[in-house]
């Protein structure tokens, strides 16, 4: 993900366990681009997947709370999905091999492109203020 930011000349910082307003919880990471909130990254255990329709129990409950976030990258390492305003933004990217057993060698060039596209889409949003509450808005990828 850092490689995508570097290509566009963006400074990207991941901040762990950032509390959400209204006590909705703490996603695993807040993603800041050039010091502005760009979105969130929620990590799941391997084999949990990134398809929220399959979630049960704690994963379902957490996603229901976090669905209010405008820009969330959800991954278990093998599946990557971007949810924007509670909707799947594009297709779920599924790696061809399992990173929990194969590590970095499990990621093919095709896989890397898919994950890169998901990352690029996350970084294409920045925070703004609207109606007195924090919101996220899409901006051009050329905005630096």
Residue 103 lies in a domain: yes
Give strand pairing partners of 39.
Answer: 31
Give strand pairing partners of 134.
Answer: 129
Residue 144 lies in a domain: no
Domains held by the chain: number: 1
Residue 8 zone, left/alpha/beta (φ > 0; ψ -120 to 50; rest): alpha
Q: What is the CATH number of the domain that holds 91?
A: 3.90.1570
**pLDDT tens-place string over residues 105-142:** 888 999 888 888 888 887 777 644 332 234 444 444 44
Q: What is the pLDDT of residue 8?
A: 62
In which residue ranges of the chain is pLDDT below 50?
127-144
Please name the residues in contact with 109: beta carbons below 8 A apart, sequence gap of 6 or more.
Answer: none
Q: How far is CA 105 from the centre of its chain?
A: 22
* pTM to 2 decimal places: 0.76
Q: What is the pLDDT of residue 7?
A: 62
Q: What domain range includes position 43?
A: 2-138
Residue 61 lies in a domain: yes
């Amino acid at each position: 993900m850092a490689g995508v930011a570097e290509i566009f000349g963006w400074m990207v910082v991941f901040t762990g366990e950032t509390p959400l307003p209204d006590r909705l919880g703490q996603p695993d990471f807040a993603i800041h681009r050039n010091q502005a909130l760009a979105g969130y990254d929620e990590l799941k255990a391997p084999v949990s997947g990134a398809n929220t329709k399959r979630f049960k129990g704690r994963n379902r409950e957490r996603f229901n709370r976090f669905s209010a976030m405008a820009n969330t990258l959800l991954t278990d390492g093998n599946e990557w999905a971007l949810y924007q305003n509670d909707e799947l933004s594009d297709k779920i990217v599924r790696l061809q091999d399992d990173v929990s057993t194969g590590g970095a060698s499990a990621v093919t060039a095709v896989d890397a492109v898919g994950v890169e596209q998901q990352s690029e889409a996350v970084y294409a949003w920045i925070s703004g203020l609207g109606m007195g509450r924090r919101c996220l808005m899409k901006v051009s990828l050329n905005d630096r």
